[in-house]
Amino acid sequence: MDPHLGGPMQAQLYDDFDPGTDDAWQRPDLMAQRLSVTVRTVRSMVSRGELERLEAGGRVYVRRPPGGASEGERIREDGSTGSGWKEADNEGADPHLPALVERLQTTLIEVTREHAATVAELHSQVRAEAAEASRIRVEAAESRLLAEVATRDAEQAAAHLEVTRAELATERQLRRAAELYAITPWWRRRQRAELRAELVAVAGLLP
């Protein structure tokens, strides 16, 4: 028999017992208040061996194992032990709940990892597409610049060609006027004067 107990009559006193230590026997609801958990959590702690369970006088008491001696065994009034709760005390409890919670946590971790991998892949694709779009924009800007330069060069070449043609025409006119002036006799003063005036006018057109 547990040294803390003195029989059925003494066990009745645990209803009003204010525990001062963690290894004192107390009702599950008082233990739940002490630990700031629910009664169902207290029952789960008993199932996991974190708390000891006592049946005395038709009532149930729990406590922390002194020195960690118990693995969830319940101590009866006559000193015998056994595991588990009475059907009335275990109402609503699911023995498979811890395993289910563990599986759900594992599934959640796997889903989180898959989600993180998917997000990382999407970010990688976005960065690659952004880099490709930037490259295309740069190439398009370079093409436009080259086209503008080529157009300007062509316009400048065309203008230079027109100037060159005009200068050639002026030089030909000046040469013709000089040749005519040279072969015109001196007594043809009027014709020589006209040719001289033409030479002066044409020469003024040259750069």
Query: Which tens digits make up the pLDDT trace of 121-165?
Result: 888 888 888 888 888 989 899 888 888 888 888 888 888 888 888
- Tokens 């003494």 locate to 10
The alpha-helical segments, DSSP class H, found in 79-188 are 97-183
In the chain, % of residues over pLDDT 90: 11
Determine the 3-state secondary structure of 87 from DSSP: coil
DSSP notation for 26-60: B-HHHHHHHHTS-HHHHHHHHHTTSSEEEEETTEE
Choose between 124 and 67: higher pLDDT: 124
Is residue 82 very low, low, confident or very high in pLDDT (cuts 50, 70, 90)? very low
Q: What is the pLDDT of residue 159?
A: 85
With H, G, I as helix, E, B as strand and everything else as coil, classify residue 181.
helix
Provide the pLDDT for residue 94: 63
What are the structure tokens assigned to 29, written together? Answer: 């609801």
- How long is the chain? 207
DSSP 70: -
Summarize pLDDT for 16-53 with one digit per residue, the tens.
Answer: 444 455 568 899 999 899 888 999 999 999 999 889 99
pTM over 0.95: no
| For range 173-179, the mean pLDDT | 81
